[in-house]
Amino acid sequence: MYIIKLNAIDSTNSYLKAMSSVNLPKDFTVVVANHQTEGRGQMGTRWQTEDGKNLTASVFKEVSSVEVEKQFYISMVVALAICKTLDGLKIPQISIKWPNDILSANQKICGTLIENVIKQNQLKGSIIGFGLNVNQKYFENLPKASSMTLLTRVVYDKDEILSRILKELQNYFKLLDDRNYAEIKAQYEALLFRKDKPSTFKLENGVNFSGIIKGVTESGKLNVWTEDDIIKTYDLKEVTLLY
């Protein structure tokens, strides 16, 4: 494991992407920054973080054994590794808001951004970025955001948390390397936020509808049991869970 520590950077994912464009980094190369100026989330969203308070890191993982059509399993094992870490630190009511935001009760404490390196239709590597709210106490105009310290009143050592996450990532990627797909998917679905509960969703055209989350497909689409009494599948851009 090779850890690069930076004081400030635009984005740890961008740093690793630049490295990967020249030569693929060594497996489990880690870039961790004290502050990100241009942290990114899913679908181009910005990640708001207070300087020095949170854990912002990216990990390069060699994933050539994973088939392209199963790349969502990378997202699943990353979410599970973070959840397992937080559960071990006694963070309450941990769940995964599809596809890979980590919540405590209904408040977001961690976001991830996974960017896969695909060459000649084969997965070569995965750049796994995550931003975990650790010791930040104030979030401007983000009523659904929280942090570990707000939830427990404990001040955490970010290096210790990073070490725990990396250990769990190794454990879960071992499951993936061993092709334990059913076990990974079952664990992921067991932690899905609002699973088996009536919920409201918004389509990309702005129309709201009611449904019940039943799980995900292998490619990561959301299975929703709708009022029409049929299960429909939705991609990330097609539907938003309102909560």
CATH no. for 198-242: 2.30.30.100
Distance CA 111, CA 133 (A): 9
CA distances from 82 to 111, 165, 188, 190, 206 (A): 10, 6, 12, 15, 32
Q: Please tell me the number of Cα atoms within 13 Å of 196 on its side-chain side.
A: 3
Would you list the domain boundaries of the chain?
2-190, 198-242
- pLDDT digits (tens), the chain, 243 positions: 899 999 989 899 999 999 998 899 999 999 999 988 765 555 455 555 677 899 999 999 999 999 999 999 999 999 999 999 999 999 999 999 999 999 999 999 999 999 999 988 899 999 999 999 999 999 988 889 999 999 999 999 999 999 999 999 999 999 999 999 999 999 999 999 999 999 999 999 999 999 999 999 999 999 999 999 999 999 999 999 998
Handedness of CA 1, 182, 81, 222 (dihedral sign): positive
The residue among 217, 218, 201 whose CA lies nearest residue 209 is 201
C-alpha 220/C-alpha 191 separation (Å) is 14
Does the domain formed by 2-190 have CATH 3.30.930.10?
yes
Structure tokens given for 234 = 């939705």
Same fold across 2-190 and 198-242:
no
Q: What letter represents residue 172's amino acid? A: Y
